[in-house]
């Protein structure tokens, strides 16, 4: 019976790896392409910047930018794949050559022209200020003195707010997505928000709880961006297609679809209505979360075994290697590791890395460092006499470790393994910063179209709670069988 359990534990990483690979093969995808032959361009976007880019209830990328891009691709006969990232991540991906272009309501500025080549302008933007619908005290910039104002990173609204905050005596707080920025104003943490006027007006029409109190300020125009000196052919195709759309009237038709007086509502109100309309997308995000967790833990377990043995080795050099690995990945934030692996390494070595690959590497290396310490602690908790007894019977070091020490250590390590599995599952949410549409990122994308933050985060929280509780119960049963 004991032998059977040991074999089952030994095969566990292999079984997890096979399950994860099946998930990668048969799991949901996030890309959308246009029919054609030849090169397929990778276009990064925001998808939390309605009405320019967001994901509808069917999971399709829509909005002014997405519809223009689709129409231009059809007109110029080229293929593309949309890579949904936050604006900051999209810009970094373009700088590191991870994508071919960015179309994300990106303002054309002199500073950005030093790094990127832009298309002809496709939309003339501007900035407006808004406050909570119930706020009747703030009606002008003068009323902001001594207060805090919310802005979104990289937007015209952020640039404009920074240009006048000293004159009017207010401070700014920066967010990565519009929904969080609007919520900060609704809750009263910030007194007002500056945002690109079409985005702000669209959000108000969708019920984001704000109202405008100033006239529109002039702003820069939006452009399609590529890296400096790169993809000139794609840029030329975009400009030619844009000119054709303007001439045919299709450009105006696309704008009117999203900037009409009464934009179409993008989702039902209320908890159950929202759950019913979004659960297919949430299930896809949950599936990707599970796949990331399983693959990463399987790899991390192998890394933990290798470096765990190094940590208890009699060789100083081997112990030093184990200590260095653990210190590096336990001593730096997971977010920094994700950015470094996805943006830093490919930029330094001039190659492209899929976001999924970068995410798995990040989680595996990070979890592996913690599992290394779990294994080290478990091994050292076994009485040294066990190893000495095995060696005295003529067994080698590795057979003694595998057949005598590790089976006893597993009992001590099991609760910590379960805890690390739960932590890794929750850590997958951090990978939303590199555009992986796991459960948290899926929630952000849904909120971007309907602004139902409270209900959406409640639903996401319930999903996490259910899967973590299921994992905990399963692990408890496994632990009881092992220790029986």
45-54, 236-245, 406-415: which has the highest mean pLDDT? Answer: 236-245
User: Higher confidence at residue 300 or residue 391?
Assistant: 300
CA-based nearest residue to 331, from 295, 382, 304, 366: 366
Residue 133 lies in a domain: yes
77-81, 90-94, 195-199, 409-413: which has the highest mean pLDDT? Answer: 77-81
Look up the pTM and report it. 0.75
Strand partners, 116: 227
Reported as a single tens digit per residue, the pLDDT across 430-472 is: 988 887 889 998 888 888 877 788 889 999 999 999 998 888 8
Domain identity same for 49 and 183: no
Those residues whose C-beta lies under 8 Å from the C-beta of residue 404, and which sit 6 or more positions away, are 386, 387, 389, 390, 395
Give the model's pLDDT for residue 350: 83
Task: Kindly indicate the confidence band of residue 393, based on its pLDDT and cuts at 50, 70 and 90.
Answer: confident
Find tokens 């833990």 and name the residue: 297
Give the model's pLDDT for residue 4: 44
Residue 429's domain is classified under what CATH number? Answer: 1.10.3720.10
Q: Angle of helix 439-450 relative to helix 453-483, nearest 10 degrees?
A: 170
Domain identity same for 274 and 301: yes
Whole-number Cα distances in Å, 350 to 100, 116, 225: 13, 17, 19
Quote the percentage of the chain above a pLDDT of 70: 89
Reported as a single tens digit per residue, the pLDDT across 98-147 is: 899 999 989 998 999 999 999 999 999 889 999 999 999 999 999 999 99
| Whether the predicted pLDDT of 63 surpasses 80 | yes
Domain identity same for 149 and 211: yes
In angstroms, rounded to a whole number, what is the distance separating the alpha carbons of residues 61 and 44?
Answer: 12
Domain identity same for 297 and 394: yes
Residue 192's domain is classified under what CATH number? Answer: 3.40.190.10
DSSP reduced 3-state for 23: helix
Number of structural domains, the chain?
3
Give the model's pLDDT for residue 10: 42
Give the model's pLDDT for residue 38: 64
Give the model's pLDDT for residue 483: 63
Residue 34 lies in a domain: no
Give the model's pLDDT for residue 482: 65
CA dihedral (34, 36, 42, 44) positive or negative: negative
Domain identity same for 198 and 141: yes
Q: Hey, what long-range contacts does 356-360 have (CB within 8 A, 24 or more apart)?
A: 356/24, 356/292, 356/436, 358/434, 359/292, 359/428, 359/431, 359/434, 359/436, 360/292, 360/295, 360/296, 360/299
Residue 428 lies in a domain: yes
Give the model's pLDDT for residue 354: 86
- Span 248-253, mean pLDDT? 95
Domain identity same for 76 and 109: yes
Domain identity same for 112 and 197: no
Domain identity same for 373 and 327: yes
**Residue 54 — φ and ψ, nearest 5°?**
-165, 175
Pairing of strands 192-196, 101-102: unpaired
Average pLDDT, the chain: 85
Give the model's pLDDT for residue 410: 78
| Whether the predicted pLDDT of 71 surpasses 60 | yes
Those residues whose C-beta lies under 8 Å from the C-beta of residue 184, and which sit 6 or more positions away, are 150, 173, 175, 190, 193
Whole-number Cα distances in Å, 399 to 177, 277, 403: 54, 56, 6
User: Higher confidence at residue 22 or residue 441?
Assistant: 441
Are 378 and 410 within 8 A, CB to CB?
yes
Residue 33 lies in a domain: no
Residue 264 lies in a domain: no
Task: Kindly indicate the confidence band of residue 94, based on its pLDDT and cuts at 50, 70 and 90.
Answer: very high
Query: Beta-carbon neighbour count of residue 309 at 10 Å?
Result: 19
DSSP annotation of 236: H
Reported as a single tens digit per residue, the pLDDT across 306-352 is: 999 899 888 899 999 999 999 999 999 999 999 999 989 988 888 88
Domain identity same for 214 and 236: no
User: Higher confidence at residue 376 or residue 398?
Assistant: 376
Residue 251 lies in a domain: yes
Reported as a single tens digit per residue, the pLDDT across 408-429 is: 777 778 888 888 999 999 999 9
Domain identity same for 391 and 280: yes
Task: Kindly indicate the confidence band of residue 261, based on its pLDDT and cuts at 50, 70 and 90.
Answer: low
Domain identity same for 10 and 68: no
In angstroms, rounded to a whole number, what is the distance separating the alpha carbons of residues 471 and 254?
Answer: 47
Pairing of strands 225-227, 210-212: unpaired
Task: Kindly indicate the confidence band of residue 264, based on its pLDDT and cuts at 50, 70 and 90.
Answer: low
Last-in-domain residue among 164, 195, 221: 221
CA-based nearest residue to 177, from 158, 159, 153: 153
In angstroms, rounded to a whole number, what is the distance separating the alpha carbons of residues 279 and 293?
Answer: 20
**Residue 123 — φ and ψ, nearest 5°?**
-160, 130
Q: Which segment of 10-14, 70-74, 243-247 scores lowest on mean pLDDT?
A: 10-14
Segments in 27-125 forming alpha helices (H): 64-76, 87-95, 110-113
Give the model's pLDDT for residue 337: 95
User: Higher confidence at residue 176 or residue 484?
Assistant: 176
Domain identity same for 313 and 447: yes
Task: Kindly indicate the confidence band of residue 229, based on its pLDDT and cuts at 50, 70 and 90.
Answer: very high
Show the domain range for 346.
Answer: 2-28+270-483
């Amino acid at each position: 019976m004991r032998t059977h359990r040991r074999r089952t534990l030994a095969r566990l990483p292999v079984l997890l790896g096979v399950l994860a690979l099946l998930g990668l093969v048969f799991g949901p995808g996030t890309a959308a392409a246009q029919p054609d032959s030849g090169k397929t361009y990778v276009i990064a976007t925001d998808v939390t910047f309605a009405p320019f880019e967001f994901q509808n209830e069917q999971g399709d990328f829509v909005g002014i930018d997405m519809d223009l891009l689709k129409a231009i691709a059809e007109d110029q006969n080229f293929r593309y794949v949309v890579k949904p990232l936050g604006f900051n991540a999209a810009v970094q991906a373009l700088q590191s050559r991870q994508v071919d272009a960015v179309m994300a309501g990106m303002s054309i500025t002199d500073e950005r022209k030093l790094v990127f080549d832009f298309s002809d302008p496709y939309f003339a933007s501007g900035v407006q200020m808004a406050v909570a619908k119930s706020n009747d005290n703030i009606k002008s910039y003068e009323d902001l003195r001594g207060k805090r104002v919310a802005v979104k990173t990289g937007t015209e609204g952020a640039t404009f707010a920074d240009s006048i905050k000293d004159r009017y005596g207010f401070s700014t707080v920066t967010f990565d997505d519009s929904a969080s920025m609007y919520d900060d104003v609704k809750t009263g943490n910030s007194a007002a928000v500056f945002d690109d006027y079409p985005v702000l007006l669209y959000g108000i029409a969708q019920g984001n709880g704000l109202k405008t109190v100033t006239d529109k300020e002039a702003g820069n125009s939006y452009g399609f961006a590529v890296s400096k000196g790169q993809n000139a052919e794609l840029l030329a195709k975009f400009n030619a297609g844009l000119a054709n759309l303007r001439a045919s009237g299709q450009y105006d038709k696309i704008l009117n679809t999203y900037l009409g007086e009464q934009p179409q509502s993008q989702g039902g109100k209320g908890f159950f209505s929202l759950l019913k309309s979004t659960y297919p997308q949430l299930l896809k995000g949950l599936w990707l979360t599970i796949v990331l967790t399983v693959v990463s833990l399987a790899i991390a377990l192998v890394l933990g075994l290798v470096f765990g043995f190094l940590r208890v080795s009699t060789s100083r050099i081997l112990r030093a290697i184990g200590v260095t690995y653990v210190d590096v990945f336990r001593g730096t934030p997971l977010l920094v590791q994700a950015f470094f692996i996805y943006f830093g390494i490919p930029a330094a070595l001039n190659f492209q890395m899929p976001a999924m690959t970068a995410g798995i590497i990040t989680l595996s290396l990070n979890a592996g460092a913690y599992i290394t310490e779990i294994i080290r602690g478990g091994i050292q908790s076994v009485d040294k006499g066990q190893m000495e007894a095995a060696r005295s019977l003529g067994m080698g070091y590795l057979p003694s470790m595998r057949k005598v020490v590790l089976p006893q250590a597993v009992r001590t390590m099991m609760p910590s393994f379960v805890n690390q599995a739960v932590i890794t599952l929750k850590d997958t949410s951090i990978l939303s910063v590199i555009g992986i549409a796991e459960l948290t990122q899926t929630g952000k994308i849904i909120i971007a179209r309907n602004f139902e933050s409270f209900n959406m985060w409640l639903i996401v929280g319930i999903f996490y709670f259910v899967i973590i509780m299921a994992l905990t119960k399963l692990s408890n049963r496994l632990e009881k069988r092992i220790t029986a």
